[in-house]
């Protein structure tokens, strides 16, 4: 996978074989062989370009807790660094969210970060949680609600703080699905219905600014962005918006090659469409705490409907 060295691939292969042997005969609530869980966790981390020790630890992350193996066995096969990561995840999984003094989410997050002396342990724990959320439909409804609540209160803020935007969004949407299924499916349906209109809007925008982009020699990729279900849901709560208001919001993302072009595209969009006052945010000049950088603006788009625009570089 990717540019991993031969010896790293062998180490990962060997961690997989070792874990598969240990989990032999164990099954998930889905009735699938247990090893598929650590394998999926490892794949999530591989997609995030995690290093080889983290991938090995992902494959081994449930072996100390759920199988007969010993810390020494892991250390002698895969080294002290991998053992530290596996120990870290095991320690965090024993942490009980249910006790009273730990219930304060903010305290819990702080404790959690303090307990993980290596930030890779948090990445492992988040990938573990993400796969457990993806397979939550095999749990009982009360358990689903409990886990969804814990995810939104503890794991989403952690993913956000670490700048793991895609993981954060998927955890949010999955939490909503299990904590408030009616709202979730209602929003999902509206978003699906709005797709044709969204595609139309994108075409209109491209038509309006394409000539200028060419004249300025800017290579821009403009895509429609379906807002996440959770962001629609929370916007509805915060701003007392109706479904209809939200249905009308289209979001687009423009990707260009460098920062200078971000501002040039912003200028083009503001001259083609009327900006909505107070909605421009320059996260390039002033990055968010998690180092997120992008320009955000809202304008009155085609057919007089609000249009949210994000402009950023690939980086």
Minimum CB distance to Mn ion smaller for 11 or for 131 = 131
Task: Quickly count: other Cβ atoms within 10 Å of residue 12's Cβ.
Answer: 21
Which residue's CB is nearer to Mn ion, number 62 or number 261? 62
Q: Which is nearer to Mn ion, 83 or 299 (CB)?
A: 83
Nearer to Mn ion, 65 or 199 (CB): 65
**Which long-range CB contacts under 8 A does 258-262 form with residues at least 24 apart?**
258/313, 259/284, 259/313, 261/218, 261/220, 261/313, 262/294, 262/295, 262/311, 262/312, 262/313
Least CB distance from residue 34 to Mn ion, whole Å? 9
- List the one residue out of 285, 179, 296 whose CA is nearest residue 227: 296
Closest of 155, 110, 163 to residue 136, by C-alpha: 155
Cβ 65 to Mn ion shortest distance, Å: 8
Q: Is 315 annotated as catalytic?
A: no
The catalytic residue among 10, 24, 32, 65 is 65
Contact call for residues 116 and 94 (beta carbons, < 8 A): no
CB 17, min distance to Mn ion, A: 18
Is 207 a catalytic site residue? no
* Residue of 47, 66, 219, 245 marked active site: 66
* Residue 128 beta carbon to Mn ion: minimum distance, rounded to whole angstroms: 4
The helix (run of H) or strand (run of E) holding residue 275 is strand 274-275
Are 233 and 176 contacting, i.e. CB atoms less than 8 angstroms apart? yes
Binding region for Mn ion (CB under 5 A) = 62, 128
Q: Is 304 left (phi over 0), alpha (psi -120 to 50) or beta?
A: left
- By annotation, the residues acting in catalysis are 65-66
């Amino acid at each position: 996978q990717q540019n991993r060295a031969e010896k790293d691939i062998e180490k990962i292969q060997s961690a997989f074989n070792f874990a598969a042997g240990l989990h032999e005969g164990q099954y998930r609530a889905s009735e699938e062989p247990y090893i598929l869980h650590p394998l999926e966790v490892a794949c999530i981390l591989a997609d995030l370009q995690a290093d080889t020790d983290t991938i090995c630890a992902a494959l081994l992350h449930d072996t100390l807790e759920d199988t007969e193996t010993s810390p020494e066995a892991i250390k002698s096969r895969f080294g002290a660094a991998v053992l530290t990561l596996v120990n870290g995840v095991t320690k965090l999984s024993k942490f009980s969210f249910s006790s009273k003094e730990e219930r304060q989410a903010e305290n819990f997050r702080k404790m959690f970060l303090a307990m993980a002396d290596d930030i890779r342990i948090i990445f492992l724990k988040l990938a573990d949680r993400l796969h457990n959320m993806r397979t939550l439909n095999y749990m009982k409804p009360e358990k689903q609600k409990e886990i969804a609540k814990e995810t939104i209160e503890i794991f989403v803020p952690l993913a956000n703080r670490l700048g793991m935007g895609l993981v954060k969004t998927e955890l949010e949407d999955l939490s909503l699905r299990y904590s408030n299924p009616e709202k979730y499916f209602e929003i999902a349906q509206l978003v699906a219905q709005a797709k044709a209109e969204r595609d139309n809007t994108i075409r209109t925008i491209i038509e309006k600014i394409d000539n200028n982009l060419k004249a300025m020699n800017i290579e821009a990729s403009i895509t429609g962005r379906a807002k996440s279900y959770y962001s629609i849901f929370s916007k509805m709560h915060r701003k007392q918006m109706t479904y209809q208001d939200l249905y009308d919001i289209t979001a687009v993302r423009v990707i260009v090659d460098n920062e200078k072009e971000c501002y040039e595209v912003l200028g083009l969009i503001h001259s083609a469409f009327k900006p909505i006052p107070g909605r421009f945010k320059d996260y390039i000049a002033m990055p968010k705490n998690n180092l997120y950088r992008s320009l955000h603006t809202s304008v009155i788009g085609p057919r007089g409907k609000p249009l949210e625009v994000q402009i950023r570089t690939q980086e």
